[in-house]
């Protein structure tokens, strides 16, 4: 299976707020065709977070030559899933993603895994794929085991797939190529960004310690512009990630997610698109 480039719109969140359709027009002009949305206000909007009805979104996306390939939904709960699925099926999207989690101990991870399983089963029954997307916290260990391994062991692979964020995997002290190999066909969406060469240490746990309690505030200490650069401009061996993904043969999309940039958001995603296109040749 060939890898196609996607764009997680969190990368252009400020531009979208200024001019939603004008920004997506520029995204299409850069060359992107596959879009992953990010709705952080699902309690008030079951769609993509911009209060756009499904019919309008589908038609306008088609006009721009853009396809919705997936969407992050937050806050995620079983209670909203039927309405969320209704909307996303109407726009032609087949994949929903839980984008983040925080835990204090293994019991909380097990409870979280049960909830993922329930949501994943609901999605599967209705013909949707469901994914979990990692940050660095999933590579903290509880009882000697990575949080992400606990999640994977305690969820049904038919219900819960993985969208591996290779940047955050590396920041968790784990080789993303090796973890991709471990995931095999359970991972068919990959998130890609790049790490500045000045970032030392790469492994967050060397800074905060293995036993640190990680909450959203602690996470934000490592989600800052100085730790991010455009794809192909930093220290991550993206070529090896692409080669491993092609070797496994399951991944459909390598999705740019630029959490932060020192450049204008559209300029940033244009650089990453150009570099990613070269790497995929």
Q: How far apart are CA 30 and CA 33, in angstroms?
A: 9
Share of the chain above pLDDT 70, in %: 100
Q: What is the pLDDT of residue 205?
A: 98
Instruction: Give the up-direction half-sphere exposure of residue 160: CA atoms within 13 A in the CB hemisphere.
Output: 22
Q: What is the pLDDT of residue 13?
A: 98
Cα-atom radius of gyration of the chain, to the nearest Å? 18
Give the total number of structural domains in the chain: 1
What H or E segment, with its residue span, contains residue 241?
helix 238-248
Q: How far apart are CA 36 and CA 72, in angstroms?
A: 7
Phi-psi region of 213 (alpha: psi -120 to 50; beta: other; left: phi over 0): beta
Show the DSSP H helices in 132-175 as ranges.
147-153, 166-171
Give the CATH number of the domain where residue 233 resides. 3.20.20.150
Q: What is the pLDDT of residue 83?
A: 97
Q: Is the preceding peptide bond at 201 cis, omega within 30 degrees of 0?
A: yes
pTM: 0.98
Q: What is the pLDDT of residue 1?
A: 66
Q: Which residues have CB under 8 Å from 156's CB, separation 6+?
A: 117, 120, 121
Q: What is the pLDDT of residue 122?
A: 98
Q: What is the pLDDT of residue 2?
A: 86
- Distances in Å between the Cα of 213 and the Cα atoms of 18, 100, 245 are 36, 15, 32
What is the mean pLDDT for each group of 10 consecutive residues in the chain (281 residues)? 93 98 98 98 96 98 98 96 98 98 98 98 98 98 98 98 98 98 98 98 98 97 98 98 96 97 98 98 89
Determine the structural domain holding residue 213 and report its residue range: 4-280
Cβ burial, residue 213 (10 Å; 0-12/13-18/19+): exposed
251-254-257-261 Cα dihedral, nearest 10 degrees = 150
């Amino acid at each position: 299976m060939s890898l196609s480039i996607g764009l997680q719109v969190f990368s252009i969140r400020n531009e979208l707020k200024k001019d939603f359709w004008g920004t997506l027009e520029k995204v299409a002009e850069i060359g992107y065709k596959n879009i992953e949305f990010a709705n952080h206000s699902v309690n008030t909007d079951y769609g993509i977070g911009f209060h756009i009805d499904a019919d309008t979104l589908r038609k306008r996306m088609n006009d721009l030559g853009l396809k919705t390939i997936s969407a992050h939904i937050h806050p995620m709960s079983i209670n909203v899933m039927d309405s969320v699925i209704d909307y996303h099926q109407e726009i032609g999207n087949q994949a929903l993603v839980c984008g983040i989690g925080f835990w204090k101990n293994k019991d909380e991870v097990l409870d979280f895994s049960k909830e993922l399983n329930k949501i994943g089963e609901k999605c599967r029954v209705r013909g949707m794929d469901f994914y979990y997307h990692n940050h660095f916290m999933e590579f903290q260990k509880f009882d000697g085991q990575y949080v992400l391994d606990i999640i994977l062991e305690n969820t049904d692979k038919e219900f819960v797939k993985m969208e591996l964020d290779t940047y955050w995997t590396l920041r968790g002290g784990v080789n993303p190529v090796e973890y991709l190999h471990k995931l095999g066909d359970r991972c068919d969406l990959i998130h890609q960004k790049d790490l500045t060469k000045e970032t030392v240490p790469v492994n967050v746990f060397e800074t905060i310690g293995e036993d640190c309690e990680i909450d959203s505030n602690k996470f934000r200490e490592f989600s800052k512009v100085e730790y991010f650069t455009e794809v192909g401009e930093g220290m991550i061996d993206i070529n090896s990630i692409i080669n491993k993904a092609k070797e496994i043969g399951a991944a459909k999309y390598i999705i740019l997610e630029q959490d932060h940039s020192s450049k204008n958001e559209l300029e940033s995603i244009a650089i990453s698109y150009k570099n990613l296109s070269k790497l995929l040749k």
